[in-house]
Chains A and B, each alone.
Chain A
């Protein structure tokens, strides 16, 4: 198996296990991903930055997922939840995951109105979807000439 495909398969299998282990799996409709948006963005930005940006984007998503899970507690840190939801709206929307962005916006609103129950209820289903999006980003095609 070519290294890229092997890495992709490993990522998918690892993430699939995590998704089931942590929360209910992320359905495609939960993500609402337009898979053409991020590759097109990377092409527009150019080969010189595409590889680095893709790597950083995936790392930011993974870091945000861990931070969000941590902030859900205990102890529940609603200010941190708001901060991470804010970041997730932007990252998901930029990557073309429209439904995830919308659901993150609902989480952000719940955090802003101080509704701890709602933030927990809304945040948990997002976690596997952040994983799924990170996998998509990490394996998203790069423009010709870009180094992975």
Chain B
């Protein structure tokens, strides 16, 4: 830990790091110092505030859970003393409530531990961008009535969930957003593909430009060309006025093509030409028009499979499939389910004027063990249903829709799936004699399910595979998870 230097000059290349775990402090300090910053460190709120008052650093990295004081209270004191300071909070408590609380209190950014080096440096870079030129020292001023302006960040605003899978998605969005590269989002229905596309747009330099979303699967095929590229008045029956089309409307921004694999072949050809030339030619127009558009597309199908089946042009696939982002299904994000449900509960309760206090532990368990075939969208619908039909309090199992577990009986109460008596597998090679590898695998999976009372996520954990792998195998074997 470096000693605080009293009355040290204010410099934009100075950071105060307040973190009580010494090894993490060493780690963050080393990463930050390598980029040329001077780093002062403190392990307690008291020591941190003393250094802050003496050095007035423009940026503070603040652990929210300190041994002697709550980090948010410390942040408030620092903002009162030096309103222009940019405070990046770091915490292992990645709940949506904590993030919202921190951002409302004036934090510049919210990082969830473990913090990747790139994410840490990006947060500092963003904080620097928001600073006034360092040559002009800022006199102390009363606290602003509204929190200082800050750059949009993914965490705490767009996505709910602190699972490793979502952290990887967010890191990828942040790393790709600033480029012009085409982003291809895959994932099952209801996993948040459009939310991901919006996040790419909002994090990009074109955030001030338009974000135009077009669902290629929802528009009649004969209107699709007109919807994408526009038309001129009178170019066909019903074209009663000029229409610019989504590609032109997205000029300077982002065009999101959802369900892109549903696009008819003729339009795929036009889309390919559009990507090659950056020009659009509305139906009936004689001249093409140059536009500056970034393409983000999405599908819930396997795009390569669509290519193999001849439903999607291979050259277009390679044009579009530049930076793939896969949105994980909810069943692979068991840790996020409760966070998402609680965030939705708070939002919907506010909208409907109800007073819910949270999920009961029994409901949390039910949610964690449900396969959620409709993903986040299904979970949100369930919460909406609960809020509309109940007055408030804790969400209890009997408040959940009756049909929620109709196809997937709750694993905590359901009997294990039907299966033959299972011999142990390890250490007894005779038992395995004569079995095919597929049969050994099937018995291992069913054995794990039996030990975990039919809970697929728990069985998957024991077998060290993703739950989706087990769901696929069970479906192939004609077994319905219970």
Contact = CB atoms under 8 A, between A and B. Distances in A.
Interface of A: 29, 41, 44-46, 49, 52-53, 56-57, 59-60, 82-83, 85-87, 89-94, 98-99, 101-102, 104-106, 108-109, 112-113, 115, 118
Contacts of A91: 21, 23-24
B26 A93 contact: no
Interface of B: 21-24, 26-27, 30-31, 65, 67, 91-95, 113-114, 117, 162-164, 335, 338, 358, 361, 461-462, 464
A98 B164 CA distance: 8
Contact of B464 (A29, A53, A109, A118): A29
A29 B361 contact: no
A98 B27 CA distance: 18
A94 B27 contact: yes
Contacts of A108: 92-93
Contact of A60 (B23, B91, B94, B361): B23
A102 B117 CA distance: 20
Nearest to B339: A109
A29 B462 contact: yes
Contacts of B91: 86
B27 A118 contact: no
Nearest to B117: A44
Contacts of A44: 117
24 contacts: A29-B464, A41-B27, A45-B27, A46-B30, A53-B23, A53-B27, A53-B30, A56-B22, A56-B26, A60-B23, A82-B65, A86-B91, A90-B21, A90-B92, A93-B92, A98-B164, A99-B461, A102-B164, A102-B335, A105-B94, A108-B92, A109-B95, A113-B358, A115-B361
Contacts of B30: 45-46, 49, 53
Given A29-B464, A91-B21, A101-B164, 10 more contacts: A53-B27, A56-B23, A87-B92, A89-B92, A92-B114, A93-B92, A94-B27, A108-B93, A112-B95, A118-B361
A86 B26 contact: no
From B24, B31, B117, B162, residue with most partner A Cβ within 10 Å: B24
B26 A87 contact: no
A101 B112 CA distance: 12
Nearest to B114: A93
From B26, B114, B117, residue with most partner A Cβ within 10 Å: B114
Nearest to B19: A90
B22 A90 contact: no
A17 B21 CA distance: 28
A52 B26 contact: yes
Contacts of A45: 27, 30-31
A61 B21 CA distance: 10
A97 B185 CA distance: 28
